[in-house]
Amino acid sequence: MSQPQRTPLARFEDIPGKLPESSVPGSVDFQTLADQAVEKLNNLTPDNVTESVVWRDLLSFTGTYRTFNSRANVVNTLRDLRQSRRCSAFYALGSGVRTERSLSDISWCDVDVLFDVQIDGLAGKGRGIVSLACCADGQWRIWMLRTWLECFEGHGHPDVPVSDGIIRVDSGNSASRSPNTDYDVVIVGSGQSGLSTAGRLKALGIRYVVLEKRPEVGHVWASRYESLRWHTSKHYGSLPFGHSYPDEDDYMLPAKRIGAGHKAWSEKYDINVRTSTAVDAASYDAESQTWTVRASTPEAQQTFTTRNLVLAIGTGHLTPVVPEWASPEKIASSGFKGTILHGSNYKNCTLFAGKRGVVVGTANTAHDVAEDMANVGMSTTLVQRGATFIFPAEWLHHAEDVHYNPNVDPAEADRISFTHPNKIMRELVNRAVFAGIKANPDRFDALEKAGFKLDRYGDIYNNLYVRFGGHYVDIGASERIAKGEIKVTSRPVKKMYKDGLVFEDGGELPADLIVLCTGFDHDFRKDAARIVGADVADQMDDFWGVDAEGEVRGHAKIAGHPHLYYHGGDIRMARFYSRFLALQLQADALGRPLQPYVG
């Protein structure tokens, strides 16, 4: 048996990458600049790039997700890969140049480029963005390059749906693939990740099926708390192939509309989903390189065979975590007379109107539940366990709306904004957010005066990509905390008693309803083991967190075991990476699986 794959976790602070300390002069001939950018890229020399240049590639040159830093590394690696991939000359897409800004004091110019490239025997169409900064000596140099694979020429496009249902990949074309499997890909789960991947696979003509244990697509949202809504915009959360939600829908979609939108999208594009089909187990046969997936329906047992298995089962949100003092044994021995439940089982608090409510935790769900309680007149207290980063929703929406709006195709918005190296995006976001915090101290001072422990200059990228959450995108609860409508205590809980909680300092907090918004076990191997077994799961890479280049570990690529993939993440990440996961699966279906560059 091969050794388990474990990609070391890196800290963003240790990953190379910084913003250019420059701005675009008042008078620039943008057409000349665009021509110069393409010329510099086609004849790349050390003098054409900044010392701290960064290049991110998504499949087009590396066959995987890589980020390269430093002048020598970028110039030499791109030169070698251009030659080995038989890359064509870069040429400009259109004649426009975009000026991007983080704040008023820094800016740079972006030029869109196209190129052709051979990837493991397949003719690929690539696209990229070359970013130029005006340096201290007055010369324009490349400080950032982003390249990605658009499609394999002649084999469809992951952003363009098909309506004829024709399977364009002949499974018998390659001796490396079994012509006897039912599918090229079986996807477990029909959430944002599963549906996005399925839609892309259909667009590329790949044999696939989605297995969903719930009775209908979108039903998972019906199981969440009733007041849940996206804290991001509906345009940000679209599924592939355009805007998924109509104009009349709320900007921040409530759970029922999210679920209804998923169902409507799957019906519109005739996605092959088997609902009420719970996957019991999947086993891999190394000789035939195929998976056998066993599932249960209300009527019978079913078996599926497939070349590739994609686990889109809700990454890190399947196993609730509760404090030791709230274990079933401790609850029973305390004689607690009220109701206690984990946030994953919370629906509403209507029956507790006017009573005493306690929420343990201070991330997004905790704040939402606390607002629920306050809305029905409950005496509500948040029990805070650690300092919390607060991100005002209107700031987030302002940033999202630049690209994610009714006038821009979400796929194009993804290309412009989500292809950035993660370290660079982290620097951009933090620079803008920290400036906003400094300019609006009263908002945050009020929280601290109310007893809220504030991580004032928190790192949203660390929360999203390392901690798997823990922050609050403020859609209104912070003001209610500041006003005293929701109380806060940060005293550590010692135990429960018949009327509520006992703190380490001996104080008591009576409660009729306690909701534990204390998160989930994020070891995705444990979730995977329920399907593929412990031995196979042990071979899988760690999921989430970032590697030394700033790329998310174990995501949307081979997960450390042949023909096995994880796919998850936030709503935009699910949509964006599904296109690259689908292209990898298409290459495999064409008998030429991508070989990741590891240099």
Asked if residue 165 belongs to a domain, the reply is no
- 369: alpha, beta or left, given left = phi > 0 and alpha = psi -120 to 50? alpha
Same domain, 456 and 390: yes
Contact 267, 274 (CB under 8 A): no
Q: How many CB atoms lie within 10 A of CB 264?
A: 17
| Other beta carbons within 10 Å of 434 | 14
Q: Count CB-CB contacts under 10 A for residue 36.
A: 15
Same domain, 66 and 202: no
Residues 369 and 508 in one domain: yes
Average pLDDT by consecutive 10-residue portion of the chain (599 residues)? Answer: 81 94 86 92 96 98 97 97 96 85 81 95 96 93 98 96 60 43 94 97 97 95 90 95 95 95 96 97 96 95 96 83 95 97 95 98 96 97 96 94 95 96 95 94 97 95 89 96 97 97 97 96 90 94 93 93 91 94 97 94
Same domain, 28 and 111: yes
List Cα–Cα distances, 50 to 12, 378, 419, 476, in angstroms: 21, 58, 20, 43
The tokens describing 83, both together, are 């030659």
d(CA 151, CA 131): 23
Left (φ > 0), alpha (ψ -120 to 50) or beta: where does 61 sit?
alpha
Same domain for 299 and 441: no
DSSP string, 291-329: EEEEEE-SS-EEEEEEEEEEE-S-TT-SSB---GGGSHH
Task: Tell me whether residue 177 is in a domain.
Answer: no
Position 164 scores a pLDDT of: 53
CATH code of the domain covering residue 244: 3.50.50.60
My answer on whether 267 and 308 are in the same domain is yes
As a whole number of angstroms, the distance between CA 412 and CA 410 comes to 5
Token pair recorded at residue 410: 């979400």
DSSP string covering 527-591: HHHHHH-HHHHHHSPP-SSB-TTSPBTT-SSB-SSTTEEE---SHHHHHHHHHHHHHHHHHHHTT
Backbone dihedral angles phi then psi of residue 69, each to the nearest 5 degrees: -130, 155
| Burial of 287 (C-beta count, 10 Å sphere; 0-12/13-18/19+) | exposed
What is the pLDDT at residue 351? 97
Q: Are 347 and 207 in contact (CB under 8 A)?
A: no
Q: In terms of domains, do 372 and 507 share one?
A: yes
Whether 6 is covered by a domain: the verdict is no
- Which residues have CB under 8 Å from 27's CB, separation 6+? none
Query: Are 431 and 337 in the same domain?
Result: yes
In a domain, 224, yes or no: yes
332 and 451 in a common domain: yes
**Tell me, what DSSP letter sits at residue 507?**
-
Domain end point (choices 105, 136, 152): 152
> Range of 357's domain?
324-516
Q: How many helices (DSSP H) and strands (DSSP E) are in the chain?
A: 15, 24
What's the CATH code of the domain at 63? Answer: 3.10.450.50
Same domain, 474 and 542: no
Residue 599, domain member (yes or no): no
Nearest to 594 by CA among 566, 556, 542: 556
The pLDDT value given to residue 316: 67
Residue 257 lies in a domain: yes
- Residue 175: which of 593, 594, 591 has the closest Cα? 591
* pLDDT computed for residue 152 by the predictor: 97
Among 473, 495, 516, identify where a domain stops: 516
Please indicate, yes or no, whether residues 498 and 567 belong to a single structural domain of this protein: no
Residue 161, domain member (yes or no): no
Q: Is 156 left (phi over 0), alpha (psi -120 to 50) or beta?
A: left
Total-model pTM: 0.94
Here the tokens at position 68 are 């390269």
Residue among 60, 69, 547, 536 nearest 292 (CA)? 536
Q: Which of 485, 516, 547 is the last residue of a domain?
A: 516
b/e map of 542-577 (b: 16 or more CB within 10 Å)?
A: bbbbbbebbbbbbbbbbbbbbbbbbbbbbbbbbbbb
Confirm whether 505 is domain-assigned.
yes
The closest of 253, 382, 391, 338 to 512, measured between CA atoms, is: 338
The number of distinct structural domains making up the chain is 3
Residue 477 and residue 370 share a domain? yes
